[in-house]
Structure 1
Amino acid sequence: MNRIKQLFQEKTNNILNVYFTAGFPKIDDTTVILKALQDGGADLVEIGMPYSDPVADGETIQQSNQIALDNGMTVKLLFEQLSGIREAGITVPILLMGYVNPVIQFGVENFCQKCQEVGVDGLILPDMPASVYEEEYKATFDKYGILNTFLITPQTSEERIKHIDSISDGFIYMVSSASTTGAKSSISTDQEAYFARVNAMNLKNPRLIGFGISDNQTFKKASSQAAGAIIGSAFIKLIGQSTDLAGDIKAFVSSVKNG
């Protein structure tokens, strides 16, 4: 069974998904960060494929993308870095997140095949329309056992949310607001109304809340409204300043989950 599906079958709440940009802060940090996240207790890991124009991301993640690209990170190199991680004891489910253009340039079938080879479980491609996925790529994703995760926002219609739910198999990425990514200190009443509205739809897929999750308080609040949450910018800031990656990452994950 796909590791993401297995995770959500075994655990229904307080799921922590942590995002980092491949090639940041240094080009060869990928496996060090992965292992430290797993050791620290992250339930799911999202690895960003750096892109020159990450339009959905806030300043922190944009800067990490630029540094990673300047360091020389590419999709091909990322697959090389991930080769052998499963044999080396990394068991945590892994998603690759990025923009669809580099995937198309790599070749969608080649990309999915490489994901299967190295043990990547799913993809998040925010700028890929659901209709394009269904018509052109779903069969290929299914062939290689790769789950595709869609994003919904407070502006997404009920009809579209239900359609996304029907073509998804894993979880739905619930963007907490219409803004770009970035750590925030609290969750607003408007956001709570949106969470309640989506919860009332009785979707078949669990949701993880992203954008604005930064610490134990926001993680607990999000986990009360969904299966868990996604942390990106706060983690990128931490590793960008870290002098002890493994130790700092384990301490960060523990503080988010346990306070």
Structure 2
Amino acid sequence: MTKLSVNINKIATLRNSRGGNVPDLIQVAKDVQRFGGQGITIHPRPDERHIKYQDALDLKSVVHTEYNIEGNPIAKFVDLVLKIKPTQVTLVPDAEDAITSNAGWDTIKHKAFLQEVISEFKANGIRTSIFVDAVPAMIEGAKQTGTDRIELYTEDFAKDYAAGKGDASVKPYRDCAIVANAIDLGINAGHDLSLDNIKYFKENIPGLLEVSIGHALICESIYMGLDNVVNMYLNKLK
């Protein structure tokens, strides 16, 4: 079964919009795990517009499944991850002012930088993953950095699938998964995956270990309830 890690950034966004502690991010993380979620993902950004660095520290004691911290490995982020030592760190090349992640790493151009960062994380017992576009050369480049996994950036798939493009929407990702499997790289995926497209994606990606889903899952939960939606994803990922 492909594991489901729930990104709770949007919970923090809602909390921050009014100040105070409603909704309670820590309680939501506990509840997601109680409902069957197999991991918690956060993506703190330098401006702390949703997840605050203190949230990342506070979550360490309550995440008993898999704790995945995403972000651009600037010095402040690296220090935070080394202090927490989560299960996994996912490296994302987002600009400080980016609304959301919108591109994967050029693993060839940034090979030396990624090698340096990854070696430090792995020396501290933290599994590493690199956010990449569905380009075989970037998958092969990722292998050279020493990373344990890649995370396929799935926005293009989601758009093409919604447009009815069927197999053409998933083919680049399937091709990259075949490459990753051949060179012993673990495969994660995320961005714009939803209840509408997750089953099709999962069925067409060999060796898919984990998906990280936040925006769609939280939006769907507004209508159908968090417990119900988490379990709907789990059923589709079997």
Report the TM-score when normalising by structure 2: 0.72
Question: Residue 235 of structure 1: which of 211, 217, 232 is its match?
Answer: 217
Cα pair 2:73 2:117 within 8 Å, conserved: no
Q: 1:46 is paired with a residue of what secondary structure?
A: strand
Could you tell me whether the CA contact under 8 Å between 2:177 and 2:187 is conserved in 1? no
1:196-235 pair list within 5 angstroms:
196-201=174-179, 202-215=182-195, 217-226=196-205, 227=208, 228-235=210-217
Deviation at 1:174, TM superposition (A): 1.0
Taking the TM superposition and a 5 Å limit, the aligned residue runs for 1:100-249 are 100-101=73-74, 104=75, 106=76, 108=78, 110-116=79-85, 120-127=86-93, 129-134=110-115, 136-154=116-134, 156=135, 158-178=136-156, 185=162, 188-201=166-179, 202-215=182-195, 217-226=196-205, 227=208, 228-238=210-220, 241=222, 248-249=225-226
Change (3 A) 1:237 1:92: same
d(CA) in 2 for partners of 1:44, 1:83: 12
Shift of residue 238 of structure 1?
Answer: 4.5
Distance 1:236 1:132 in 2: 34
Higher relative contact order (CA 8 A, sep 6+): 1
Runs of 4+ in structure 1 displaced over 6 angstroms? none
Question: What is the CA–CA distance in structure 2 between the aligned matches of 1:82 and 1:223, rounded to whole Å?
Answer: 28
Unaligned runs of 5+ in 2: 94-104
- Residue 213 of structure 1 aligns to a residue whose secondary structure is coil
- CA positional deviation for 1:222: 1.7
Deviation at 1:95, TM superposition (A): 0.8
- Give the C-alpha shift of residue 188 in structure 1: 3.9
CA gap 1:107/1:91 in 2 versus in 1, 3 angstroms: closer
Q: Note if 1:34 corresponds to 2:29.
A: yes
Gaps in structure 1 of 5+ consecutive residues: 1-12, 53-64
Maintained 8 Å contact 2:81/2:89: no
Shift of 1:18: 1.9
CA deviation profile, 1:128-147 (whole Å, cap 9, x unmatched): 7443121x323321221122
CA–CA distance in structure 2, aligned partners of residues 196 and 107 of structure 1: 31
Equivalent in the alignment of 2:12 = 23
RMSD (CA atoms): 3.0
Matched residue pairs, number? Answer: 207
Provide the rounded CA distance (Å) in 1 between the counterparts of 2:166 and 2:5.
Answer: 21
1:171 is displaced (CA, Å) by 2.8
Give the TM-score, by structure 1 length: 0.67
* 1:96 matches 2:77: no
